[in-house]
Amino acid sequence: MTVALMLTLAVKVSAQVPTPSSSTSLSSKLENAFSAPRGPGSPMPDNRDSGATRGDQCVPGDQRLPVALVPPPSKSGQTASEHPSVFWYMPRTNAKAIEFVLRDANVNDVYRVWYSLPKTTTGVVSPAGIKSLTIANPYPLEIGQEYHWQLALICDPSDTGKDYIVEGFIKRVAPEPTLVRRVQQATPEDRIALYADAQLWYETLATLVELRRDRPNDSNLQEAWNKLLEVVGLQAIAQKTANAKS
């Protein structure tokens, strides 16, 4: 298997919310929904949670390290999906593989998968960009439970100390039928706003990524994407990923 970065978009959502108003921009809705509270003079949130060092050249030293796309400061986001997708920024790399692990509140493995990364003639796996992975566990995530996910970029299979690691948390919440109907009837942009109003981070992100893939030259979507990256402290890679494809 390759690191097939596929999206499984949920239509189930939770918590009744009002229909989005066209008078408020999509980027403003994303900022209002996911910005972490900050006092005067507080720094922007920083999601740079990769482990390891740059010494082995698994990730060239002039690049940003892998970064999880999770809301600050808790790194925990909600979903209504039984099998949500997680997202991260992956730089150019000659890593051997990635390993994804999902654990429950008792630190039991719920899902674990290893992907060997394909090699090119230059040894670079793929261009830098936002990647995603669907949690294809045999059993659906349980409603009301929070899970911890961790993704490791494997530089040396014999030495885990050289791994680059990103992580986040997922809490599955119960779907609300009224909002399900609204999502099904909404335009793509309004669907993103509905998910954001409902605090469904993983659905918001997945839908925005897919819509930007379909409409890469849409300036409103680009503005919303940049705002979402800024909200989670990743504005430094907004420009780098402007034209990247998962």
- DSSP character at residue 79: E
- Total count of domains within the chain: 1
- The verdict on residue 172 lying in a domain is yes
The CATH code of the domain that includes 233 is: 2.60.40.10
* Cα atoms in the 13 Å half-sphere on the side-chain side of 97: 12
Residue that is written with structure tokens 């839908």 in the block: 207
- The verdict on residue 70 lying in a domain is yes
- The verdict on residue 13 lying in a domain is no
What is the distance between the alpha carbons of residues 163 and 152, in angstroms, rounded to a whole number? 6
- The verdict on residue 223 lying in a domain is yes
- The verdict on residue 109 lying in a domain is yes
Question: Distance between terminal CA atoms of the chain?
Answer: 16
Range of the domain at 58: 26-34+44-237
Q: What pTM was computed for the model?
A: 0.79
Instruction: Per-residue pLDDT tens, the chain, 246 aa: give them.
Output: 333 443 322 222 223 333 344 446 888 888 778 876 554 444 445 555 555 444 456 887 666 788 899 987 889 999 999 999 999 988 888 888 899 999 999 999 999 999 988 777 666 666 788 899 999 999 999 999 999 999 999 988 888 888 899 999 999 999 788 888 899 899 888 899 999 999 999 999 999 999 998 998 988 888 888 888 887 777 655 555 554 444
- The verdict on residue 143 lying in a domain is yes
Is-contact 200 170, C-beta < 8 A?
Answer: no
- The verdict on residue 149 lying in a domain is yes
| H/E segment holding residue 220 | helix 219-231
Q: What are the φ and ψ backbone dihedral angles of 242, each rounded to 5 degrees?
A: -55, -40
- For residue 81, the Cα-to-chain-centroid distance in whole angstroms is 14
- The verdict on residue 242 lying in a domain is no
